[in-house]
Amino acid sequence: MFESKAGILYIAGIGFFVLAFVSNALVPALMYNDLPEQTVEELINSNLRYQFEDLARRYPDSFKEAYGESPGGEAEHDAWWNEKCAEALRYGRKLYVGEGCWHCHSQFVRPVSNEEQRWGPVSRSAEYQNELQRPVMFGTRRVGPDLSREGGRRSNDWHTVHFFRPLDLSEGSPMPEYPWFFDGSPDKPNARGLAIITYVQWLGSWQESYPYYEDYVPSRERPEEEEDAEADNEDAAAEDDA
Amino acid sequence: MSEALNEAVTTSHEEVKSSEELVDQTLVKLYFCTALTFLTVAMLAGLLMAFQLIRHNPLRGIELFSPGRWRMVHTNAIAYGFLANGFIGALHWIVPRLTLQPVFSKKLSWLIYAAWQGVVGATAVGILLGEAQGLEWGETPVWVDPFAQLGLGLLALNFMPPIARMKGPIYVTLWYFMAMFVWTFLTYAMGNFVPEYFVTGTSAGAVGGLFIHDLVGLFVTPLGWGMMYYFVPILLKKPIWSHGLSLVGFWGLAFFYPLQGIHHFLYTPIPMFLQYGAVVSTIAVELVVTTVIVNFFGTLWGSGSAVKTNLPIRWFYTGMIFYFLTCLQCAFQVTLTFQKIIHFTDWVVGHAHMVMFGVFTMWIMGMMTYLFPRLLNRGWYSLKACEWHYWLSTIGIAVMSADLFLLGLFQGWSWAALEPWDASVEISYPFWILRTIAGLSMFAGLLVFLWNLLKTWTSVPEQTAVADVSNAATA
Ligand code: HEM
Ligand code: HEM
């Protein structure tokens, strides 16, 4: 059996593969079967809508060129914004994948290595049960920080300047520049620029803790305000225990 | 095609075919040259990314040279352009010799060659145009996937008949190859279609992890070991040390390897009991790997000097040492204690290079060093250049992986200590610079090899009479 063709073909080739597929893929799939998959339209929330409309306010010309103008009438108006926002999210995700952002940024917060303090609440399964996580954007490498709680942490202006030339905002940043998201200068994001920023602003916008600002005292800065920091940490620890 | 089948069946009873009839040597050469071309592209892409990280990217701000896209070209050109082409070339050399049967159809072989280059080319173009699919190692744009799937199916169709026509038990190499044809086909289908069309979120992550792992474990690894079981006994002129250990190695790998997928996503929301399962089977496979390594060093025992004098053997055994080291490293890195620190860091990048370059690229290079003289019927133009190729590559990869392992630890500790992000980037620079230098050394090794190959091809006269070199059907 162990050296026969049939044994190798059926047991090793097919049998072991299927065993692994069932145990490592089918089991989680069945476990999360009851979590409904949300469509992009269902993902739009007021936090995101605020950021999206803010983009329209800050870059009216660019926005009009990319998405046109909202029709009058209260109801149509709302539907129109939601529709355009969904469009931007889908396109933003496509850019996020196509530019390989996910090879430098992860999208999950682990319960270890103080990641909760740096980035916010640990990731839960339900957060990933939606159309924009198909395939899931967990990521396996962090050259840059995790982005799953990025929404609302920075302003739209910050993002435009950062995508145009990261070095201008983050000293020594190895993040590539993306001038093709703009029509020549950071204050003129094109359809791609608007979409990627919408996508980044979406990340974490569903959280209770939104927007999550880094809630820790970097160890470098500790000496100056040692006492305060110490006290804060103890508070945080006490909360964790509870 | 049925003609080809009949012909093969009738001749199998007659005297053994000569190697020229069995092996399509032109095709093997073509596969090897294509593989080397893609390796060159992949290394240039890796260098682009390396220069981006040290902020000296000469091509910054140009859309078609977006470093993120070229990073995907880097890994995909390696996996599908270099490793796959190199291995398929090897299959065309090995399988007909072991089975004494030609492949199912030589026309089909050429069709597969053309189709596969189409797939790889389309993948590269698709990625560069920003059409990548969001799956690690499966970035092949969705519209290329069905063609790649078809190509893998045809490949199995072409190589399975000669194996099937053999009578009695088959040799170790063919165990690996046979299983690989099935695994690769299934793996590709699972990884590229299931997370895209059938499941979302966390479960898609589990499938994605399984895909990353099956691709390296069920496609690259069995091909690599199959090659070693074939070439090492031929080169050392003695059988493998222990057949029992060969059995343990194959079946252990077949059982434990596919079970480890989730170890790529530890501490994600994937259920913890599944994560533990993956951790345990990962450690188990390390024990299996040890048996394989023992077996090969048992084979080498008594002929150790071959490592000094026989260049292909040296490539092969250097690769095996890296294999052992990398799997040993993995048995640690997979534990949850290590994961806290090293996951997401350059440690993993170090592992990926050590195993993909230090093991499989080395094996393919060893094989090419051995086969090109036979394919071209002439000796190497410069043996010294062969040595340079070896040393530049070996030193390059050793420095690169050591550098990245160390950096990974520093990054992990820096993050856990809640230092500002910039601090972890800052400590990385010296290491990233060293990695670039090491990468340049590996690239220089490749250039030396290419130059040597060109010179051999164009300036060394063909020696038709050298039976030892050209006729290896009996070997
Ligand atoms: C038995 C030995 C091996 C063990 C135990 C092992 C284990 C691991 C583990 C635990 C990781 C994930 C690390 C992390 O993300 O934190 C990993 C990543 C990786 N392994 Fe292995 N591995 C082994 C052999 C191989 C082989 C033979 C290959 C290549 C043919 C390979 C290629 C890779 C690659 C490319 C990655 C990085 C995946 C990514 O892009 O995220 N490994 N390995
Ligand atoms: C000229 C030499 C090379 C250089 C400079 C280089 C550089 C790089 C860089 C900068 C990355 C991105 C790492 C990151 O995300 O931080 C990378 C990833 C990778 N490279 Fe290379 N590379 C080289 C050769 C190779 C070769 C020959 C192979 C395989 C045979 C290879 C396999 C990989 C793999 C598998 C990854 C993905 C790692 C992961 O996702 O964890 N590289 N390389």
Report the complex ipTM: 0.90
Q: Helix, strand or coil for residue A204?
A: coil
Which residues fall within 8 angstroms of residue B234, CB to CB, at 6 or more apart?
B472, B475
Residue B270 contacts A, CB cutoff 8 Å: yes
**Which phi and psi (to 5°) does residue A38 adopt?**
-85, 145
Please identify, by atom number, the ligand 2 atom nearest to the C-alpha of residue B49.
10
Cα dist. A25→A165, B75, B198, B317, B398 in Å? 41, 24, 12, 36, 35
Would residue A222 count as lying in a domain? no
pLDDT confidence of residue B413:
95
Residue B61 contacts A, CB cutoff 8 Å: yes
Identify the helix (H) or strand (E) that includes residue B429. helix B421-459
Would residue A38 count as lying in a domain? no
Instruction: Write the residue in A4, A20, A118 that is nearest to B210 by C-beta.
Output: A20
Smallest CA-to-CA distance from A117 within A241, A47, A218, A48 is with A218
Number of domain units in chain A? 1
**Residue A97, domain extent:** 44-215
Under an 8 A CB cutoff, do A177 and B61 touch? yes
B18: left (phi over 0), alpha (psi -120 to 50) or beta: beta
Q: What is the CATH number of the domain that holds A128?
A: 1.10.760.10
pLDDT confidence of residue A20:
92
Smallest CA-to-CA distance from A67 within A56, A54, A79 is with A56
pLDDT confidence of residue B470:
33
Number of H helices, E strands in chain B: 20, 0
- pLDDT per residue of chain B (475 residues) written in tens, 0 to 9: 333 333 333 344 445 667 777 888 999 999 999 999 999 999 999 999 999 999 999 999 999 999 999 999 999 999 999 999 999 999 999 999 999 889 999 999 999 999 999 999 999 999 999 999 988 888 989 999 999 999 999 999 999 999 998 887 889 999 999 999 999 999 999 998 988 888 888 888 899 999 999 998 899 999 999 999 999 999 999 999 999 999 999 999 999 999 998 999 999 989 899 999 999 999 999 999 999 999 999 999 999 999 999 999 999 999 999 999 999 898 899 999 999 999 999 999 999 999 999 999 999 999 999 999 999 999 999 999 999 999 999 999 999 999 999 999 999 999 999 888 999 999 999 999 999 999 999 999 999 999 999 999 998 888 864 444 333 333 3
Are residues B295 and B324 in contact, defined by beta-carbon separation less than 8 angstroms? no
Which residues fall within 8 angstroms of residue A25, CB to CB, at 6 or more apart?
B190, B194, B203, B206, B207, B210, B261
User: What is the full DSSP assignment across A57-107?
Assistant: HHSHHHHHHHH----SSHHHHHHHHHHHHHHHHHHHHHHHHHTTGGGT---
Would residue A34 count as lying in a domain? no
For chain A, positions 183-202, list CB contacts with chain B under 8 A.
none
Report the pocket of ligand 1 as residue ranges, CB < 6 Å: A 140; B 136, 212, 216, 220-221, 263-264, 282, 285-286, 289, 326-327, 330-331, 333-334, 339, 342-343, 348, 351-352, 355-356, 360
* B304 CB burial (10 A radius; 0-12, 13-18, 19+): exposed
Under an 8 A CB cutoff, do A5 and B269 touch? no
Are residues B310 and B316 in contact, defined by beta-carbon separation less than 8 angstroms? no
pLDDT confidence of residue B128:
95
Are residues B353 and B416 in contact, defined by beta-carbon separation less than 8 angstroms? no
Under an 8 A CB cutoff, do B259 and A19 touch? yes
Are residues B296 and B228 in contact, defined by beta-carbon separation less than 8 angstroms? yes
Q: Across the A/B interface, how many CB contacts are shorter than 8 Å?
A: 247
Instruction: Write the residue in B55, B179, B340 that is nearest to A112 by C-beta.
Output: B340
Residue A46 contacts B, CB cutoff 8 Å: no
Q: In this predicted model, what pLDDT tens digit does every residue of B147-205 receive, in sequence order?
A: 999 999 999 999 999 999 888 788 999 999 999 999 999 999 999 898 888 888 888 88
Smallest CA-to-CA distance from A138 within A177, A99, A174, A110 is with A110
Distance CA A173, CA B361 (A): 32
Under an 8 A CB cutoff, do A135 and B68 touch? no
- Name the token pair of B437: 């230098």
pTM listed for this prediction = 0.91
Residue B352 contacts A, CB cutoff 8 Å: no
Name residue A130's beta-bridge partners: A38
Q: Helix, strand or coil for residue B344?
A: strand
Instruction: Write the residue in A98, A117, A177 that is nearest to B418 by C-beta.
Output: A117
Other C-beta atoms lying within 10 Å of the C-beta of residue B454: 11
Other C-beta atoms lying within 10 Å of the C-beta of residue B323: 25
Provide, as residue numbers in chain A, all residues whose Cβ is less than 8 Å from the Cβ of B250.
12
- Name the token pair of B246: 């060969």
Distance CA B341, CA B428 (A): 15
Q: Which residues of chain A have pLDDT under 50?
A: 225-242
Instruction: Write the residue in A5, A35, A127 that is nearest to B170 by C-beta.
Output: A5
Would residue A150 count as lying in a domain? yes
pLDDT confidence of residue B464:
66
The separation between CA B41 and the C-alpha centre of its own chain, rounded to angstroms, equals 16
Distance CA B124, CA B131 (A): 10
Provide, as residue numbers in chain A, all residues whose Cβ is less than 8 Å from the Cβ of B190.
21, 25
**Which phi and psi (to 5°) does residue B384 adopt?**
-65, -40
Would residue A221 count as lying in a domain? no
* Length, in residues, of chain B: 475
Would residue A95 count as lying in a domain? yes
Would residue A107 count as lying in a domain? yes
The separation between CA B302 and the C-alpha centre of its own chain, rounded to angstroms, equals 29
Distance CA A142, CA A147 (A): 10
pLDDT confidence of residue A230:
45
Cα dist. B246→A17, A97, B258 in Å? 20, 42, 19
Would residue A235 count as lying in a domain? no
Q: Whose CA is nearest to atom 35 of ligand 1?
A: B352
pLDDT confidence of residue B200:
84
